[in-house]
Amino acid sequence: MIHSLFLVNASGDIFLEKHWKSVVSRSVCDYFFEALERATEPENVPPVIPTPHHYLINVLRHRIYFVAVIQSEVPPLFVIEFLHRVVDTFQDYFGVCTEAAIKDNVVVVYELLEEMLDNGFPLATESNILKELIKPPTILRTVVNTITGSTNVGEQLPTGQLSVVPWRRTGVKYTNNEAYFDVIEEIDAIIDKSGSTITAEIQGVIDACVKLTGMPDLTLSFMNPRLLDDVSFHPCVRFKRWEAERILSFIPPDGNFRLLSYHVSSQNLVAIPVYVKHNISFREGSSQGRFELTLGPKQTMGKAVESVLVSSQLPRGVLNANLNPSQGTYTFDPVTKLLSWDVGKINPQKLPSLKGSMSLQAGASKPDENPTINIQFKIQQLAISGLKVNRLDMYGEKYKPFKGIKYMTKAGKFQYFDRIHILFKCFFYYLLPI
Amino acid sequence: MLGMSANSVSYNEQSSVESGVDAAQENSSIPASSSGGLFSADYKKNEDLKEMLESSKESLKLEAMKRIVGLIAKGKNASELFPAVVKNVASKNIELKKLVYVYLVRYAEEQQDLALLSISTFQRALKDPNQLIRASALRVLSSIRVPIIVPIMMLSIKEASTDLSPYVRKTAAHAIQKLYSLDPDQKEHLIEVIEKLLKDKSTLVAGSVVMAFEEVCPDRIDLIHKNYRKLCNLLVDVEEWGQVVIIHMLTRYARTQFVSPWREDAVFDENSEKAFYDSEEERRVEQSKPYIMDPDHRLLLRNTKPLLQSRNTAVVMAVSQLYWHLAPTHELSIITKSLVRLLRSHREVQYIVLQNIATMSIQRKGMFEPFMKSFYVRSTDATHIKTLKLEILTNLANEANISTILREFQTYVKSQDKAFAAATIQAIGRCATNISEVTDTCLNGLVLLLSNRDETVVAESVVVIKKLLQTQPSQHSDIIKHMAKLFDNITVSMARASILWLMGEYCEHVPKIAPDVLRKMAKTFTSEEDIVKLQTVNLAAKLYLTNSKQTKLLTQYILNLGKYDQSYDIRDRTRFIRQLIVPNEKSGALSKYARRILMAPKPAPVLQSAFKDRDRFQLGTLSHSLNSQANGYLELSDWPAVAPDQSVRIVEVVKEAGAPVFGKSKPGKSDEKFYSDSEEEEEEEEEGSSSEDSSSSSSEESESESESEENSDDSNKSSSSQSDSEKKKKTLKNKKLQQQKPDILNITYLPTQIIQKALLLIIRTKFFLMHIVLSFSNQFVASCRCSLLCLYVFLVCQFDTISWDVRVSLQASSPVFVPETSRELLHRMTGKGLSAQYRFTRQPCIYGNSMVSLQLTLSNSSDQALENIHISEKSSTGQNIHRFNAIERLEPQASVTVSMGVDFNDSTQAANFQLCTKEDEFSVSIQPAVGELLLPITMSEADFTKEQSKLVGMNESSATITMTPENVSSQSVNRKVVSVANLGVIPSSQENIHRFAGKTVSSGCLVLVSVALKDPDAVITINTENTVMASMLLRQFKTALTNSGP
């Protein structure tokens, strides 16, 4: 399975290596660097690279390449999924997954990698188990450890490892028992110039933060479970129960986790909450171009559209942009040609707009594409699919937890040549009857 | 003094030079001349690490190790610290120890001799009561790639594979692969361990052992048979990584064991590949009898389906490929949604999933057509993702959706990503050839692109147009003309070459333009690319043949230029063409055919998917992703024409608990007893020395369990055909003996271990062994292996007479007698047709150590099928009940036997529960006889008396009875006692005293029963801490022994 792992930073240096079997020389990465050079964009490096004796499978996250060295046949997704799990674990432990964070915590990183794989086969990947084996570094713990000489490493096999609920550690205790659920939805839509939707899909997740004492058994039911077309669960969810009753019944892991991700099919009509009017034109032979963009709310069910952020990749010929926003601030990076406009909240009475001129490279031919426009925003208290949680109940423990559900629609929007791609997310927050 | 300092200086110098060399090797970019100060500082640093490691302070050591791990992580060489590090391997500080382990695994291969120093520490740690320590010791021991310790590794793996902790067993499964890669000669022994671990019921172990199986012996499919159903049933609960491995293995397995489910529903998508369709049809003709899916095949499909909802993309992909390769066609559609869902995941996941969808979409468009919009390209996608999406969209194109797809393609052509735009043009070309209705539309669109400002777009269009025109050139002379006009503006050589080829090939359609193009080419010939030159020569030749009047001179000019060209190819081609077309005295018969050679009608190129042949690889594999066979790729076999024997998979788990065990359980069969006991002892010898009482008892349990599993077939029939079953028994024994042979041989490999073990045994055995030890030690000098083998066999044979130490005395043994009588649980009148009977199987319960194992026979005496028979979740009394799996359907007059476990908590209080069917609930209760709450154990007579002497006073209850004459014989006493209570018979040296031993199921407290016969009276004595039970037992024995009859 996984033979070795190399971590490569954005400038192409190997800054960490780990071997699970005999040592593989780091020169094997030369094949990777070749591919990296050939690729025009960092994302364009092919995930699977064959070399004469090995196979390299890499993932790119947080501008770090995680390059796994494989020697024989293995499902590539197995390796890819594992590498992503490694990144998630680092993020979980260090808050961020950057080169600096990894270098600062190299010992913990090594201990983690040692526990996560044995002979190249995943051993423990559940965050709850790992945290019992190796405690995440905190300033307080570092201080305590230096004084008392205690260690970050657990001495007992985590109970979860052997139990039927390996994702939850035992002996969890909290003074405030809380459970929060964020329903986050994204719309991915393609809209043509006239504003009509070519395709729209809703992709949602329910992220949970559960801090409950003991072994709580939770059930979460929906008002309209039929909306969920295709779902994938955290292993804690009892599949039979969902099949039979469309109820999520589970013993949650401790802490943050993704309970569910779902897909609302494109067959259902999706109301796009925001519209864009744009007019970007260049004239042949002139070194000036016009830029005009207006945003407006649409079908938001009376909810405010907040934290709007517009970004656009302008054509390469554009030297600079001189624009005038009716609200918010904008920046233009002449190197990457990225225009970003922080709009803030949309006021339906006074629609935000960004107008002005662009200066073009002298002598360059007229750029013929319409630039890509990407819009992000939040709508609180609205799950765009209309998904509603009915109730959340707890069994198995006697205390009364504090429960909260938050809904959010988040959007990212791109214009694709003469059309627009949209991703939405929205938040919604209310308390359930306890 | 002076001398000493000089010495030390020179020493330092020397070492600094050494380290300089080291460092220089490591980082050659630093010029070697600049060694000295820089490197000696570096060396100093390592020196102070060494000092820190040798200090007495734990915190300093830890700090040093942390820095060393930092060095390792950076890929720096820290191997010279090995001696200092290895000393800390036995540290009490667990973090320090772990870091030392990390270091050891990294460098042990380089420093094999020093690494051996650490081995004893691991061997000790392997016996630690803490399972985490045992497991990590095994992990490190097996990760040290030092060939000398192979025997030790082998032994440790064998021991760990019978460890009580599933976590340790999982580690053992991992270690199997490590040992195999270190020494492939161990394969046979490792396969034995794999076989043992495959039987393991823990979900933790399943994935790892299947992984080991795949690495070590993927061809030993026979090992899977018996475990197939168990693996299928466990699958949902196995950890996600194990699921992937198991699913891939089961896919291969199923392809060898089941017949193809595809033949009945050969109604494919009308668009699917022709060849495929044909072969299906053939098959259908061949096999006219209706297809019935093997229930095991169905089981696999059913149990993997929920995993499509897994959050782990690898699991979803694994299930998808399983369905693709195994499921009937009409069930295939369920994987589509899940695969499309994966497209929302990370870039790398998308890449692999799209590759697989691309392969699938060639064969079955229908699967993905409704999701076509999910494959629309987004501007933010990486180029390889875009190309794959394009590929899929092209595969999905048909008459109905082509207009939508072409509209989509039009926007892609405008993409700033030129490589992608070019790929789109190729895709348009493919659509045009595949769907004849749109050929013209596409061609016109492509011609429009010829006026595009971007050169790559134009060039790609030319190439594609060339291919399209070949299909129908006569109608498109205007397009060829148009391209000739564009010729001057096109600089991309491939496009220029394509136009030239078109001119030559269809010069008859453009008789005026072609010579003019040739004229232009003659001017620029020398500055063209090779490919353009070649086509110019071709064009010249073709024109010479068709229109020699206008082009003769031009052709000769070009041929002359070509003759002196720098490129071999062009010189060769020129020479060839000249000989072919220019008639001269030397040219032979060939020039007559020049026209037919050059102007032969050429078949139009077939534009097809790059994924066309990928389906030769199993989906989801690395080989599929690379489109070339990766190391260790295991071919997926074709379906067998006739299914192999299905019965190989039969493991009657349900009846397993009820099966009486052969051999030692049956008194009066002394020869068999000999065998079975010796087997057991061999087991012990293999494991006994290290694993303490708990684990050895467990190993025995597992042994007896596996034995009963193996025997279950025969045992069920035993009542009907006794002789038959005996025959089977014998072959079974033979087999067992054969299996043991390698073990014995293996142990002779390991002199030190076996001496330890043998000595341990000798110490444990109480008499007559001293002289053996003496003779043994003499022989040992001469030929230790031989004598060890002798001793080993000798000990095995003599085992009956050897008495064991008390520590092993609490081993549960198999029941001596299992009553066949069943008691009624539910009468068919009260149960509305459902009747239930139960009996105690007297076996250790497989569901829990403190449970009593029960066998339930449910029969349906009504005339309707009963559905969903199960035990209600609510238990009215406090007992812990392990319910049987719900029975989905029980046909009229049918009956089914299931097993369940109840923890009676050593009390005869009845267990009340609800037996439910779909419609009704019936309250039932099971009241256990006190004798059923025991499990038999074996111990020596000496131990018995010893234990008995501890349980006196309050713990002893006795009664005197008068025996009926027919009960006086020792056989009948034995029979009476064991039928009342589940006790083991203790061999007795006195004829008139019978001893029995057992333990209570829940609390495991010892129950000793002795019956002393003093004609005509008998004294029954019961010694146990559980006095309540003692008095109840006593009462029952009294009635049993005073009553006559069986």
Question: SS3 for chain A, per residue?
Answer: CEEEEEEECCCCCEEEEEECCCCCCHHHHHHHHHHHHHCCCHHHCCCEEECCCCEEEEEEECCEEEEEEECCCCCHHHHHHHHHHHHHHHHHHHCCCCHHHHHHCHHHHHHHHHHHEECCEECCCCHHHHHHHECCCCHHHHHHHHHHCCCCECCCCCHHHHCCCCCCCCCCCCCCCEEEEEEEEEEEEEEECCCCEEEEEEEEEEEEEEECCCCCEEEEEECCHHHCCEEEECCCECHHHHHHHCEEEECCCCEEEEEEEEEECCCCCCCCCEEEEEEEEECCCCCEEEEEEEEEECCCCCCCEEEEEEEEECCCCEEEEEEEECCCEEEEECCCCEEEEEEECCECCECCEEEEEEEECCCCCCCCCCCEEEEEEEEECCCCCCCCEEEEEEECCCCCCEEEEEEEEEEEEEEECCEEEEEEEEEEEEECCC
Q: How many CB atoms lie within 10 A of CB B885?
A: 10
Put simply, the answer to whether B69 touches A15 (Cβ < 8 Å) is no
What is the Cβ-side half-sphere exposure of residue A176, based on CA atoms within 13 angstroms?
6
Tell me the average pLDDT across B54-79. 87
**What is the number of residues in chain A?**
434
Question: Using only C-alpha atoms, what is the Rg of chain A?
Answer: 25
Whole-angstrom Cα distance, residue A380 to residue B57?
Answer: 57
Query: Is residue B311 less than 8 Å (CB to CB) from chain A?
Result: yes
The overall average pLDDT reported for chain B is 75
Q: Smallest Cβ distance to A75: which of B66, B101, B317?
A: B317
B712 contacts chain A (CB < 8 A)? no
**Alpha-helical regions (H) of B327-454:** 334-342, 347-363, 365-368, 383-396, 402-413, 418-434, 439-449
- Cross-chain residue pair A80–B348, CB shorter than 8 Å: yes
Scan for tokens 């744009």, then name that residue: A278
Q: Residues of A with CB below 8 A from B311's CB?
A: 232-235, 258, 261
Q: Is residue A135 packed enough to be buried (19+ CB in 10 Å), middle (13-18) or exposed (0-12)?
A: middle
pLDDT score at A139:
65
Contact: B237, A71; criterion CB under 8 Å? no
Tell me the nearest-neighbour CA distance from B812 into chain A, angstroms.
25
Whether residues B132 and A198 touch (CB distance < 8 A) is answered with: no
pLDDT given at position B80: 86
Examine the pLDDT at B915 and tell me if it is beyond 60: yes
Tens of pLDDT, residue by residue over B849-867, are 778 888 888 888 887 888 8
- Judged on CB neighbours under 10 Å (0-12, 13-18, 19+), B294 is middle
Interior/surface letters B1011-1026, b for 16+ CB within 10 angstroms, e for the rest: bbbeeeebebbbbbeb
- Residues B102, B86: Cα–Cα separation, whole Å: 11
Q: Which of B165, B211, B341 shows the shortest C-beta gap to A121?
A: B211
Pairing assessment for the beta strands B834-844 and A55-61 based on DSSP bridges: unpaired
Chain B CB contacts of A410 below 8 Å: none
**More confident of the two residues B76 and B886:** B76
Looking at beta carbons, which residues of chain B come within 8 Å of A235? 240, 310-311
Q: How far apart are CA B534 and CA B570, in angstroms?
A: 6
CA dihedral B5, B7, B12, B17 (to 10 degrees): 140
* Residue whose C-alpha is closest to residue B307's, from B325, B334, B269: B334
Contact (Cβ atoms closer than 8 angstroms) between residue A208 and residue A260: no
Q: What is the pLDDT of residue B7?
A: 42
Q: Is B57 near chain A, with CB under 8 Å? A: no
**Which residue type does B983 have?**
L
Whether B316 and chain A come into contact, CB under 8 Å, resolves to yes
The whole-angstrom distance between A391's CA and the closest CA on chain B is 23
Computed on alpha carbons and rounded to an integer, the radius of gyration of chain B in Å comes to 41
Count other C-beta atoms under 10 Å from residue B720's C-beta.
8
Residue of chain A with shortest Cα separation from B412: A417
Q: What confidence category does residue B355 fall into, taking pLDDT thresholds of 50, 70 and 90?
A: very high
User: Of the candidates B58, B131, B338, which has its C-beta nearest A157's C-beta?
Assistant: B131
**Please, which residues have CB within 8 angstroms of residue A345's CB and are 6 or more apart in sequence?**
A304, A305, A306, A307, A308
Cis peptide before B1016 (omega within 30 of 0): yes
Chain A residue closest in CA terms to B338: A230
What is the phi-psi region of residue A301: left when phi exceeds 0, alpha when psi lies from -120 to 50, beta otherwise? left
CA distance A219 to A396: 11
Tell me which residues of chain B, numbers 568 to 597, contact chain A at a CB-CB cutoff of 8 Å: none
Asked if residue B136 has pLDDT above 80, the reply is: yes
Instruction: Determine the length of chain B.
Output: 1046
- For B328, the token pair is 């009937």
- Between A121, A201, A368, which is nearest B174 by CB? A121
Has residue B763 got a pLDDT over 90? no
Residues A335-360 as b/e (b if ≥16 CB within 10 A, e otherwise) read eebebebebbebeeeeebbbeeebeb
Task: Of B722, B979, B652, B703, give the one whose Cα is nearest residue B839.
Answer: B979
| Listed residue (B969, B1017, B1015) closest to B994, CA to CA | B969
Query: How confident is the model over B614-636, as a mean pLDDT?
Result: 89
Q: Is the pLDDT assigned to residue A173 strictly greater than 70?
A: yes
Asked if B74's CB is within 8 angstroms of A315's CB, the reply is no
**Residues of chain B contacting A17 with CB distance shorter than 8 Å:** 73-75
C-alpha distances (whole Å) from B409 to each of A44, B340, B622, B955 are 21, 21, 30, 90
Contact B376 A190 (CB under 8 A): yes
Tell me how close the Cα of A349 comes to any Cα of chain B, in angstroms.
33
Contact of B343 with chain A, judged by CB distance below 8 Å, is answered with: no
Torsion of CA B49, B50, B55, B57, to 10 degrees: 40
Closest alpha carbon to A420 in B424, B379, B407, B385:
B379
Interchain contact, B453 vs A365, CB within 8 Å = yes
Chain A residues close to B870, C-beta within 8 Å: none
Q: pLDDT tens, B411-434?
A: 888 777 778 888 999 899 888 888
d(CA A56, CA A49): 5
Distances (CA, A) of A282 to A360, A361, A426, B664: 9, 12, 36, 96
The verdict on B70 touching A (C-beta cutoff 8 Å) is: yes
**pLDDT of A285-322, one tens digit each?**
677 788 888 888 876 667 778 788 888 777 777 888 88
Residue B610 near residue B359 (C-beta atoms within 8 A): no
- First vs last Cα of chain B: how many Å apart? 100
Q: How confident is the model at residue B919 (pLDDT cuts 50, 70, 90)?
A: confident
Task: Specify the range with the lowest mean pLDDT, choosing from A72-76, A399-403, B203-207, B241-245.
Answer: A399-403
Specify the range with the lowest mean pLDDT, choosing from A47-56, B339-348, B538-547, B682-691. Answer: B682-691
- The predicted-structure confidence for B443-453, as pLDDT tens digits, reads as follows 888 888 877 77
Segment B500-534, tens digit of pLDDT: 888 888 888 888 888 888 898 889 988 888 889 99
* Cβ contact B924:B902 at 8 Å: no
Q: How far is B352 from chain A (nearest CA, A)?
A: 7
- Say if residue B256's pLDDT is above 70: yes
Kindly identify which residue of chain A lies nearest to residue B240, measuring between CA atoms: A235
At residue A59, the pLDDT reads 94
Higher-confidence position of B1016 and B178: B178
Q: What is the dihedral of CA B798, B799, B803, B806, to 10 degrees?
A: 160
Closest CA to A187 of A371, A405, A382, A389: A382
Q: Tokens 């220019």 correspond to what residue? A: B582
What type of residue sits at position B134? Answer: R
Dist. CA B53–CA B80, nearest whole Å: 13
A-chain residues within 8 Å CB-CB of B135?
157
Cβ B72 vs Cβ B41: under 8 Å: no
Nearest CA in chain B to A156: B132
Of A48, A121, A416, the CB nearest to B625: A48
Q: Mean pLDDT lowest for which of A246-255, B637-646, B871-880?
A: B871-880
CB pairs < 8 Å spanning A and B: 245
Side chain identity at A385, as an amino acid letter?
S
| pLDDT given at position B273 | 41
In whole angstroms, give the CA distance from residue B814 to residue B973.
19
Comparing C-alpha atoms, which of B949, B880, B878, B871 is closest to residue B917? B871
Angle at A268 between CA A308 and CA A229, to 5 degrees: 100
Residue A257: phi and psi, rounded to 5, are -160, 160
Q: What letter represents residue A350's amino acid?
A: K
Residue B779 CB-density burial (10 A; 0-12 exposed, 13-18 middle, 19+ buried): middle
Q: Which two tokens stand for residue A307?
A: 């934290």
A75:B628 CB<8 A: no
Residue B43 above 70 pLDDT? no
The beta-carbon neighbor of A106 closest among B58, B69, B628 is: B69
